[in-house]
Structures are given as structure tokens and as C-alpha cells.
Amino acid sequence: MVTVISWAAVSGRRMSRHGLTDPLESIPSAAAAMCGTHAQVMTAAELSLGLRVTGATRSEVSAALWDDRSIVKTVGLRGTLHLFRTEDLPWWMAAFEALPRPNNQASDVRLDAAQVDVVLGALESAVQERELTIDELDAEVAVRCGDWAAAQVMPAFGDFWPRWRQAIGAAAYRGVLCFGPNRGRRVTYTSVQRWLPAARCVDSADALRAVVHAYLHAYGPARPEHLAQWLAIPTPLARSLFANADLDEVELEGVIAYVNRGDTDFDDAVAPVRLLPYFDAFVVGSHPRPLLFPGRAAERARARTQAGNFPVLLVDGEVAGVWHQKRSGSRIAVTVEALGRLTASRRRAVETEAERIGTIMGGRVELTFGTVTVGPHA
């Protein structure tokens, strides 16, 4: 018999597992609970992690990343930067390496498989002893590989990059490169072996099953098309991954979805009021979108079909508004736009959330309830 569950129960369980109800024990465990923390904007990543660990601050996130090395910054889901728990990195990388990654470069720009291998060998040698900036990597690859790799023919952001840079994702997925500490304002790259000197090899099939199980633990119940969107892979491949995993069916709001085998308990967990930053993993990974973004939220808190482009206000596990922060020195001006009436208790909860943001980010928050006038990514 298929277990029938409600959206409220699903939202409550997801928030609990994400550390958004009861806090998690550490920054690495928070990164693991989210299946990686989106880190294209580091301040948003610091806030995502800090909100899930009692008393955590952005400086503690930095310490976990660069001092303890218990989390690692690398190319992850959908080819974007993520923070992963370091001990989980081998199976994440093995899974990403096994997934199809289309190369959209023109044929006269694209690296072939043999050229990628040559570039990765050059990169591996270059970062063994020290961190290097992207410009320094450009120089190293030019010397080690030659003009074909260094030629500035790859279109990027209105300019042209050296051809070899299209191999950065492959270098991350094969465990050659990850990010090192910034050198001033400049990003550096380093060897994964500095984080995982005894990294074990993981079978790709085992790694893909681990990813499916991790995803369903954090975001289940879900359907193959949800996994496909999350990983940016074809839906038929996602169906195959589900078929090769050990799953149970449940019914959510009249639609069949899937959870890990035996993971069918959904208590009536309370979904508290939360302010989540840009591209918080809870919002990006959760489906169905019409239930997460009900009514006006579908238009106000999303950019076309994309979730995560706006920081959001969660009420009862659903997107109920957007918010924005602007920093000036130690002052952080936070504006919260609710899409419906907030009760007095929920306004107080928003005030508490704003105070938490100030603590995490090391500033003094001034909260305003009103219209957010900036667009996505502002």
C-alpha cells in the first residue's frame, strides 16, 4: 500500500533535515545535509551554512574551509561552485565525472578527450606545491602544453579566454583541482590532495547511487524530473538512476513520488519562519515548485522557471515573500517584503531571523518591512 503524505509534512521534514528547524552540529554536517552549499556568491554560502548551526558566523565558515579543511570549495552541481563536506568529496566527484556534460563550444574551439587529458596532467603538476591564480595557471598551461591550449579563442563574458579553461570542470571532477584561499581579492586553485591526501577511488555506479540517496534524504519525496533539473541531466538518465536505486513509492498531493527504501515516516514537524539567502539549497532542490512557490510567490520570488534568484521568506515551509540586504560598513539594511499578512508572532519571528543574519555576517541589522525594489541577483 502506497503511503499518502501531505505537503505540510514534506515541508516540515525537509526543513528538519536541513537544520532549519533544529540546528545541526557543525558546518561540515550542514554542508552534507544540503547535498552541497551553492557558493557562486560566498556571502550567500556563509549565510546558508550559518543559519543551520547554532552560533556559527561567517568567520567559522572560513575557518572550516581554509584552516580545518573540513569543507572544500569546488565545481559541483550544474557546473556551479559548491561547498562540500570534505569526506564526501570522492563520491561526489566520481558521480559528476560519470554524468554527461555537453560541451557547447564551437568545433574549432572545443578540446577533444586527448587534449583534456594533456591539460589535466599539466594542471596536476602545476598545483602540487602551491596555490595558483587563474592567470598563473594560464602561464603554466601555456608553457607545459603549448599554443593550442593557450590560444584565446573561448568566448566568455564578452571576452575570450584561453582554450584550456574549458577543462576546469573536468579537472575538478577528476580530483585534480579545487579552490584554495583567496590571495587578496584574487581566487586561487590548489591540488585536491591537500584536502584529501589519501583520497579513495569510488566506483561510479556506487557514487551515482549515493547521490540519488543523498538527494532523496534531503529533498524527498521527489520524481526523476526533479533530480534531472537538480543535476542538469536528461530526464531519461534520471529515470535510470531511480530505477537502479532502492526506493519506495509514496503519494504526495495525488502524485506518485519516491523516497529511499523504508524512509516513509513523515511526522507533523513544525516549519518555522526563516529568511534564506540567494540560491539556498533548500529552495533550489525542493519540488514540486507550485507547492513551494504558491500563488503570487511563483511570479514574485522566481526568475522565469528558476528558483534561488531571490532571497526568500519561508512561512509554514512555503515561500511567502522575498527580502534584500544592503551592507554599509557594519550596518546591514534588511528589507522584507511579505506576500501576505504576517501575524504579530510571525513578524517577531522575522525580526529574530534578521538578528541572526546580523550575528552570522558580523553586522548590525536594521529591519524594514516593505517592498523590495531590486531584481534578482541584486
- Domain ranges for the chain, please list them: 100-202, 204-260, 274-369
CB atoms within 10 A of CB 232: 14
pLDDT of residue 34: 97
pLDDT of residue 284: 96
Contact 311, 335 (CB under 8 A): no
| Tens of pLDDT, residues 257-303 | 999 999 999 877 777 899 999 999 999 999 999 999 999 999 999 98
pLDDT of residue 286: 97
- Residues in the chain where the model's pLDDT stays below 50: none
| Grid coordinates of 81 | 561552485
pLDDT of residue 295: 93
CA 9 to chain centre: 24
CA end-to-end distance (rounded Å), the chain: 48
- Return the SS3 of 165: helix
Unique residue bearing C-alpha cell 601555456: 142
Unique residue bearing C-alpha cell 554560502: 45
pLDDT of residue 241: 98
**CA nearest neighbour of 378 among 340, 327, 313, 305:** 327
pLDDT of residue 333: 96
Burial of 319 (0-12, 13-18, 19+ CB in 10 A): buried
The conformational region for residue 232 under phi > 0 = left, psi -120 to 50 = alpha, else beta, is: left
pLDDT of residue 157: 85
How many residues would you count in the chain? Answer: 378
**Please, which residues have CB within 8 angstroms of residue 258's CB and are 6 or more apart in sequence?**
216, 220, 221, 222, 223, 242, 247, 248, 249, 250
**Please, which residues have CB within 8 angstroms of residue 41's CB and are 6 or more apart in sequence?**
278, 279
pLDDT of residue 304: 78
User: What architecture is domain 100-202?
Assistant: Orthogonal Bundle (1.10)
- Return the SS3 of 38: strand
pLDDT of residue 378: 62
Which amino acid belongs to residue 262? G
